[in-house]
């Protein structure tokens, strides 16, 4: 038991785990109805797109990159799906399949384009993907200029599924299991090596450029999955919906203990980070209601809390440096 605890503390996602438990505990105290099966499922459902984006960003970051176009990519993929489903209320099955496949394909391709730009054109990932985010955003506006469109009932029912557990938890379990097996493949070893020490990876015979490209493409794919759940949840298309989620995905990665410099970390922490992100917002909202603060203060507090969360790992580093100097 003692060994288990010390192992847990050593995990990079320990901070996220603690924050998540504290967050759920605070909410259980002050907002008990949060956990009623129906509301719980509904609440968790809104986490889904960010969970997928957190996974996507984690893969890219572990490989030594970052993708600031994920939000726009999510939007693009979702509007492609909605456009392909068509305007009719009853969507024929072949168009459902076509919409989903096309949406996933577009997101994966967009990721691959980012990866190609970063790995083969060797542009700085931060600014290059920032630039492509305009391209994806512009394309999304072109595909669907106004919010609207239909989403098949089956897809809406899927994300509202509550068999034993809410659908979101099934997705998390599935992702977690997938990650567990992925870690035991050559691809995972290459990914971590490329992010951790590209020279060493190259000297060991790893195809560094291809691994980078594939990490971005993988990020694109999970962004597409996020788009699928998003349209199932909101049941419509919106050409501006994804943008705020980009920063959120970076925040989840940082809170989850994945180093932004690459080569370490994992999706368990990031998925917890996604929960922590929403819980922080939720807790701030509760506090605002409880103490009768203005709703304007809520925006400010949320912003500050998120900046503090971003600064967390850096502050730890800084205090270590200072202590060493003393």
Interaction site with another protein (CB under 8 A): 66, 68, 117, 121-124, 126-128, 130-135, 137-142, 145, 181, 184-186, 189-190, 192-193, 196-208, 247, 250-251, 254, 260, 263-264, 294, 296-304, 306-307, 310-311, 314-315, 317-318, 325
Are the CB atoms for 23 and 276 separated by under 8 Å?
yes
Residue with tokens 């996220």: 16
Query: Based on CB atoms, which residue is closest to another protein, 44 or 113?
Result: 113
Shortest CB 90 distance to another protein, Å:
29
Q: At closest approach, how far in Å is the CB of 88 from another protein?
A: 25
Nearest CB to another protein, comparing residues 58 and 168: 58
Residue with Cβ nearer another protein (104 or 201): 201
Closer CB to another protein, 54 or 100, in the complex: 54
- Determine the Cα angle at 300 with ends 297 and 304, to 5°: 135
Region for 206 from its dihedrals, namely left if φ exceeds 0, alpha if ψ lies in -120 to 50, beta otherwise: beta
| Least distance from another protein to the Cβ atom of residue 40, Å | 27
Are 256 and 58 spatial neighbours (Cβ–Cβ below 8 Å)? yes
User: Any residues with CB less than 8 A from the CB of 277 and at least 6 apart, and which?
Assistant: 50, 248, 251, 252, 255, 306
- CB-CB contact of 232 with 158 (8 Å): yes
Q: Which is nearer to another protein, 91 or 274 (CB)?
A: 274
78 within 8 A of 99, measured Cβ to Cβ: no
Task: Give 26 or 135: the residue with its C-beta nearer to another protein.
Answer: 135
Provide the minimum distance between the beta carbon of 304 and another protein in the complex, in angstroms, as a whole number: 6
> Minimal distance in Å, beta carbon 21 to another protein?
24
Q: Which residue has the tokens 């960010």?
A: 50
CA-CA distance, 107 to 101, in Å (whole number)? Answer: 10
Shortest gap between Cβ of 313 and another protein (angstroms)?
A: 9
54, two tokens: 């957190």
């Amino acid at each position: 038991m003692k060994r288990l605890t010390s192992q847990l503390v050593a995990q990079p996602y320990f901070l996220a785990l603690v924050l998540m438990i504290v967050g759920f505990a605070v909410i259980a105290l002050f907002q008990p109805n949060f956990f009623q099966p129906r509301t719980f499922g509904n609440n968790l459902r809104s986490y889904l797109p960010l969970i997928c984006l957190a996974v996507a960003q984690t893969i890219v970051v572990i490989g030594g990159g970052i993708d600031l176009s994920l939000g726009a990519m999510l939007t693009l993929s979702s509007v492609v799906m909605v456009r392909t489903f068509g305007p009719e209320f009853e969507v024929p099955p072949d168009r459902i399949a076509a919409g989903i496949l096309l949406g996933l394909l577009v997101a994966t391709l967009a990721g691959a384009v980012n990866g190609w730009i970063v790995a083969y054109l060797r542009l700085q990932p931060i600014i290059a993907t920032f630039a492509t985010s305009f391209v994806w955003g512009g394309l999304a506006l072109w595909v669907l200029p106004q919010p609207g469109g239909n989403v098949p009932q089956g897809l809406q029912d899927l994300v509202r599924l509550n068999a034993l557990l809410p659908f979101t938890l099934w997705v998390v379990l599935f992702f977690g299991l997938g990650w567990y097996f992925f870690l035991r493949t050559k691809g995972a070893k290459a990914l971590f090596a490329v992010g951790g020490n590209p020279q060493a990876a190259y000297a060991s015979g790893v195809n560094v450029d291809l691994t980078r490209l594939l990490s971005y493409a993988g990020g694109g794919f999970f962004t597409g999955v996020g788009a699928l759940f998003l349209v199932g949840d909101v049941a419509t298309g919106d050409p501006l919906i994804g943008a705020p989620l980009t920063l959120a995905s970076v925040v989840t990665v940082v809170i989850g203990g994945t180093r932004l410099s690459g080569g370490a970390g994992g999706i368990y922490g990031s998925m917890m980070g996604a929960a922590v992100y929403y819980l922080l917002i939720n807790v701030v909202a509760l506090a605002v209601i409880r103490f009768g603060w203005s709703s304007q203060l809520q925006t400010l507090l949320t912003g500050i809390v998120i900046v503090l969360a971003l600064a967390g790992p850096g502050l730890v580093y800084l205090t270590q440096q200072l202590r060493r100097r003393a």
